[in-house]
Chain A
Amino acid sequence: MIESGFISRWMVAGAVLGSLLPAAVVRADGLYVDQVYDPYVQPMEKEFEYLGVYPVDDNHELDGAQMHLLSAGMSLNDRWYAELGVEGEAGEAGAGFEWSAAEAEVKWQLTEQGEYAFDWGLLFELEVEREMHAREFSTSVIVLREWQRWVGTLNAGLVYEWGNDINNEWETQLASQLRYRWSRALEPALELYLAENSRSLGPVLTGRVRFGGGRSLRWETGVLLGLDGETPDTNWKLLLEYEFY
């Protein structure tokens, strides 16, 4: 178990980072529509995941520029979870499908669920582009709070981009979700994503289907509406997570 002093320090650091975010107004290149991570890790858990994003916009350069992410992950123990994935793109200015990047992520659960008023975790992500020399490493603080049937989650990330084909720079990004636990099969939510060239907000539906023996499928779909001229007007999202032990 992690010492409470250590946890308090992380909580203060998270709160400070959270307080700085609005001033920094979140950045990170490209369309930023993802999933909002919870801070929990289950030992022995394994997972296959698909995330697809389909933007629709009057501007033909933004319209239909799909993103597809396939990944597989497993927990390393009761605190750490690791995942590897590949990202593909299609449809940008009429381009065909191609694998565009590889990703690795590691999640660290810092506190036990419900132990404190807020549940805390950290997420580390590394993305390597395939066709250009560009890398991105991000560290995100995950904060989750329950209010009876409501669950609020915040992922506040600090990103460093570097490479021969891009400018080396620090950026920030923010993803948040407010979810109502209506039933296991169906939970409505509202999600917000903020990054350098991308701001979107919209409704999401999520749910979980159990198959017994520890196997389940979590699904999530929704539409994120662009909040500025740089973000596509409409971004359809589909997330499928098959979990097993």
Chain B
Amino acid sequence: MAKQVLWVLGVWLAGTAVAQAAPVVELEIRNHLFYPAELVVPANTKVKLLVINHDATPEEFESYELNREKVIMGNSKAVIFIGPLAPGEYPFFGEFNMNTAQGKVIAQ
């Protein structure tokens, strides 16, 4: 019986794991700066962040508050899924250029 319950649970988990369509928000990196530095996203909604690095060097998008860490190679794009977020501000920075590459996500 326990095995059957676990089987149903496993299939249910797999079924609910299919991604929902998330709104896409673009974030650009130029000269080791994030544009826009303040990114407004809808609260309580999963968002697909498309990060475009126009610099020749790689950058790491990092945010403990968002629980995300992602290296974007030079002249490349990367996708970062964030949220659903409660209303509030969530700082992020570029690990390789911490003095300049800073920003925040504002969920509202």
Q: Which of A93-148 contact B (CB under 8 A)?
A: 112-118, 146
A116 to B18, CA, bound (A): 6
Looking at the assembled complex, report how far the CB atom of A195 sits from the nearest CB atom of chain B, in whole angstroms: 20
Q: Which of A6-41 contact B (CB under 8 A)?
A: 8, 11-12, 14-16, 18-20, 22-23, 40
Nearest-CB residue, chain B, relative to A118? B17
A sample of 30 inter-chain contacts (CB < 8 A) reads A4-B19, A11-B14, A12-B14, A15-B11, A15-B13, A15-B14, A16-B7, A18-B10, A19-B6, A19-B7, A19-B9, A19-B10, A42-B60, A43-B73, A44-B58, A44-B73, A45-B71, A78-B78, A112-B80, A113-B70, A113-B81, A114-B46, A114-B80, A114-B81, A117-B13, A118-B13, A184-B64, A210-B95, A213-B96, A245-B60
A184 to B83, CA, bound (A): 19
Q: Among the interface residues A18, A43, A114, A118, which one has the most CB atoms of the partner chain B within 10 A?
A: A114
Q: Is the CB of A115 within 8 A of B81?
A: yes
* Residue numbers in A under 8 Å from B81 (CB-CB): 112-115
Q: Which of B5-51 contact A (CB under 8 A)?
A: 6-7, 9-11, 13-14, 16-19, 46
A140 to B47, CA, bound (A): 30
Looking at the assembled complex, report how far the CB atom of B72 sits from the nearest CB atom of chain A, in whole angstroms: 9
- Chain A residues engaging chain B, CB cutoff 8 angstroms: 4, 8, 11-12, 14-16, 18-20, 22-23, 40, 42-45, 78, 112-118, 146, 151, 181, 183-184, 210, 212-214, 245
- Chain B residues engaging chain A, CB cutoff 8 angstroms: 2-3, 6-7, 9-11, 13-14, 16-19, 46, 58, 60, 64, 67-71, 73, 78-83, 95-96, 98
Q: Is the CB of B96 within 8 A of A16?
A: no
Interchain CB contact (< 8 A) of A115 among B16, B19, B69, B95 = B19
Interchain CB contact (< 8 A) of A16 among B10, B46, B60 = B10
Nearest-CB residue, chain B, relative to A183? B64
Looking at the assembled complex, report how far the CB atom of A42 sits from the nearest CB atom of chain B, in whole angstroms: 5
Looking at the assembled complex, report how far the CB atom of B99 sits from the nearest CB atom of chain A, in whole angstroms: 9
A22 to B96, CA, bound (A): 44
Q: Among the interface residues A42, A115, A151, A181, which one has the most CB atoms of the partner chain B within 10 A?
A: A115
A14 to B17, CA, bound (A): 12
* Residue numbers in A under 8 Å from B98 (CB-CB): 212
Q: Is the CB of A146 within 8 A of B67?
A: yes
* Residue numbers in A under 8 Å from B58 (CB-CB): 43-44, 245
Interchain CB contact (< 8 A) of A8 among B6, B18, B46, B71 = B18
* Residue numbers in A under 8 Å from B67 (CB-CB): 146, 151, 181
A187 to B17, CA, bound (A): 26
* Residue numbers in B under 8 Å from A113 (CB-CB): 68, 70, 80-81
